[in-house]
Structure 1
Amino acid sequence: MILLLLFLLSSPWMGINALVRVPIKKTTLSRSSYNVEAISEYLKQKYIANYTYGSNHDFTEGLSNYMNNQYYGTIQIGTLPQTFKVLFDTGSSNLWIPCWDCPQSDKACQNHDKFYCDQSSTCNHTDQPISIHYGTGSMQGHVDHDIVCFGTDEKYCTDSSQGFGCATKEPGNTFIYAPFDGILGMAWDSIAKDSIPQPLDQIYANKNLCPEALVAFYLNRDLQQNVIGGELTLCGMDKSQYKDPIVWEELTSETYWQIRLSDVALNGTSITFGPTSAIVDSGTSLIAGPPSVIQTIQQKIGADENGGIDCNTIPQLPQIAFIIHGTEMILNGYNYVIKYNDGSCTSGFQEIDIPGGPSWILGDVFIGAFYSVFDHGNKRVGFAVAV
């Protein structure tokens, strides 16, 4: 169920934290769209290009996990503003939304809100092509430039030079029913397609309005109807949403939000072979890791070959700790088991093997268990117990 909320803004000079608050919405989880092979292929396609060579073949279900079990919110583009629902993705670095000139045959584009450059007095249309490859095909379109806003106050907007992808072709069929219109990348500019700067760069540059160059996620994984999906805050942290301390880990690479992962333990026993690396990715639903380690976890938690778990066993499932900066970030069964709307359950873990790449991808299953902070200014990621 899509949960609709309003934007809230606050100002530090009025005695309130300098936060831009973006309400997060969430989708109803569907067991039918869970496909182990598709999720694995999607993750490989998303990361493999920056670590090694990838295949060019399409994979029909490659993006199904991109729209299932995801959290998203709204931004505005242009003058007068046009509103779009976007997936906030810390695992990519480009903003793109559907374009007015996409063909009638592109059902994904036609099913979503489209950007009309001619309806914005500040839009600069270009013929510069842009193409972003995914497992199911490529997002193709052109680069336009306009104002991008994160709230109802124009102070939290970019100027009209902000570039973004205006999509005339969307990848595969899985975006047809996606609850969001486009994707807002929040990783680092070094991996942005065509070196297009991110909208957040301009927001962070204004130190008076944005004293802290960071974004924080509070995600609510409760499946009940009429429950708030969560909140994304820019330029500061909401202390009412977490308990101190925040565990900080510096980045090992300014590409993705990649950090050092010291160890992973199951019921206090290490199941890895020393320190490794992990990418913290809000655009990925699951926790993905080395096949041998994930197989051990799946066996210990009683998951079948498709990841299915008996929901009645959740209270007795073992704790799994991710050791970050000397601190155990503990997940219990309620954290790492995904409950679907039909009453079934599945493991939140997935195998992945990227030669030369990170060993782990920490997606929403991990992020949703904590108050998660992506600190651009200090080049670090932080986690605290969410309240």
Structure 2
Amino acid sequence: MKLLVLLGLVAVSDSIVNIPLTRVKIMRKTCSEKNMLNNFLKKHAYRLYQTSSPGSNIATHSLRNFQDMIYVGNITIGTPPQGFQVVFDTGSSDLWVPSIFCTSPNFYEYKHLLPDHLSLPLPPSSHVMFRHNESSTYRHTNKTFSIKYCSGRMKGFVGRDTVRIGDLVSTDQPFGLSVEQSGFEGLPFDGVLGLNYPNLSVTGCIPIFDNLKNHGVISEPVFAFYLSKSKPEGSVVMFGGVDKSYYQGVLNWVPLIQAGDWRVHMDRISMEGQTVACYGGCEALVDTGESSILGPRRLVDKILRLLGAKPQGSEHYVSCSAVNTLPSIDFTINGINYPLPAQAYTIKDSSGVCYINLEADPESTSTETWIVGVVFLRQYFLVYDRGNDRIGLALAV
């Protein structure tokens, strides 16, 4: 049975709110060697669901670009507020951050509230942990959940407290608190704030965006992303409306395949006018929590061969001197062509090697599906319209 909650929600601003952030560098090579980066990034909504158990106000929230990998922003939880850096993820639906139950001296005081399989202490975490005992508005629940990723896992329980995203405030908001987790060590964020549909919630709770929408805290049931191409600052996620200064031309609207998931129909993927994948159409999941472009292995391998990329470990490289000669990869969605230039899908690492940000999805599905991640979204401004079950795309400024 899903947990039913009654939330009090308050909007304290009718204007766009920008929260400036700076970039914290992290080496992709280090993460790859420790097998941490892909453990988190190679996931999307339907995989989480299948492998897991049960006015005019625009709030603009800035995001940080972590060395061309992923974008995070700040939220607070509790009273007084405790700050966390989270991934604003359209591929999942739940908000969760680490708890201190396993490492706090007070752990055994609360041990009886948790099932036996959640009671094993973990070593101290490098992430910020939510200190429930320091929040006067925190309420504990007996609801537990678990999430399995491609490699690694997270187990925890649901608590309730005041959550703030910029000037948007949700009181008594249910959120996940991890007790056991693996695959996140050393990554530059504390948790995840899911922005997918509520039917994909692993915790079974109403996501924070739905509560903001349902209680009229935001004037329109939309949110949008502008992800900077190179600068560490300037990226934003905005709630309740769209700031037209972040894109050029008009928004092209694309209906979802079905309400309940941010998947859309893609017509084809082509290079130099020739279709190279998605013959006859396929599905695409537009996912802000994924850094790369992911697709079926045989088609990804074909594109890499056409680009002349050479394998080295889990990556594929090209000569940096050849990048300017590589063709764009064109994604045609709802009849509109969205080219991805070579400068966007290649990244130069610290050793001076240029790798292709295109990967084979380890999960196979009956329908050809591509995960369109940050490498694509840095080129195009994205609007997620829950009111009309559609996404909007336009060339980013």
TM-score relative to the length of structure 2: 0.80
Alignment partner of 1:28 out of 13, 26, 29: 26
Deviation at 1:24, TM superposition (A): 6.2
How do 1:154-303 residues align onto structure 2 when only pairs under 5 Å count?
Answer: 156-160=168-172, 162-170=173-181, 172=182, 174-207=183-216, 209-222=217-230, 227-228=232-233, 230-272=235-277, 273-303=279-309
The alignment status of 1:124 with 2:139, answered yes or no, reads yes
In structure 2, how many angstroms separate the alpha carbons of the residues matched to 1:287 and 1:47?
15
CA distance in 2, matches of 1:197, 1:188: 9
- 1:89-109 alpha-carbon deviations (Å, 9 max, x no partner): 1111111101121237634x6
Aligned 8 A contact 1:90 1:256 in 2: no
Residue of structure 2 in register with 1:98 after alignment: 98
Distance 2:122 2:159 in 1: 20
Task: Provide closer, same or farther for how the CA distance between residues 53 and 147 of structure 1 changes in structure 2, counting only shifts above 3 A.
Answer: closer
Distance in 1 separating the partners of 2:266 and 2:127 = 39
Counterparts of 1:122 and 1:381 in 2: how far apart (Å)? 36
Distance between the aligned counterparts of 1:356 and 1:67, measured in 2?
A: 34
Q: For each residue in 1:191-239, what CA deviation from the matched residue of structure 2 results, as whole angstroms up to 9, or x when unmatched?
A: 10132111111212244x42221221111231x6xx3161111111121
C-alpha contact 2:96 2:192 (8 A) present in aligned 1: yes
- Counterpart-to-counterpart distance in 2, 1:373 and 1:46: 18
Q: Residue in 2 aligned with 1:379?
A: 389
Q: Which residue of 2 aligns with 1:62?
A: none
Q: Say whether residues 1:139 and 2:154 are aligned partners.
A: yes
CA contact (8 A) 1:10 1:20 kept: no
Checking the alignment, whether the CA contact within 8 Å between 1:23 and 1:232 is kept in structure 2 is no
Distance in 2 (alpha carbons) for counterparts of 1:48 and 1:202: 22
In structure 2, give the amino acid aligned to 1:30.
R
Q: CA deviation at 1:137?
A: 2.9
- Partner of 1:190: helix, strand, or coil? helix
Which residue does the alignment assign to 2:335?
A: 326
Cα separation, partners in 2 of 1:372 and 1:199, compared to 1, 3 Å: same
**Local SS of the residue matching 1:314:** helix
Q: Which of 352, 357, 373 is the equivalent residue of 1:363?
A: 373
- Inter-partner Cα distance in structure 2 for 1:118 and 1:338: 44
- Distance in 1 (CA, whole Å) between partners of 2:12 and 2:309 is 45
Q: Distance in 2 between matches of 1:294 and 1:316?
A: 20
User: Contact conserved, 1:279 with 1:358, CA < 8 A, in 2?
Assistant: no
Gaps of 5+ in 1: 1-8, 13-17, 55-65
Seen in structure 2, the aligned counterparts of structure 1 residues 41 and 87 have a Cα distance that, compared at 3 Å, is closer
**Distance (Å, rounded) in 2 between the aligned partners of 1:135 and 1:230:** 28
Work out whether residues 29 and 68 of structure 1, in 8 Å CA contact, stay in contact via their aligned partners in 2: no
DSSP-derived class of the 2:257 partner? strand
**Is the CA contact 2:127–2:190 (under 8 Å) kept in the aligned structure 1?**
yes
Whether contact under 8 Å (1:247, 1:324) holds in the other structure is no
- SS of 1:187 mapped into structure 2: coil
TM-score (norm 1): 0.82
Answer whether contact 1:93 1:185 (CA < 8 A) is retained. Answer: yes
CA drift of 1:10 comes to 9.6
- Quote the offset at 1:381 in angstroms: 1.1
Shift of 1:373: 1.4
Indicate conservation of the 8 Å contact 1:71/1:88, yes or no. Answer: yes
User: Residue 204 of structure 1 contacts residue 210 of structure 1 at CA under 8 Å; is this kept in 2?
Assistant: yes
2:37 & 2:260 partners in 1: Cα distance?
22
* Alpha-carbon distance, 1:144 to partner: 0.2
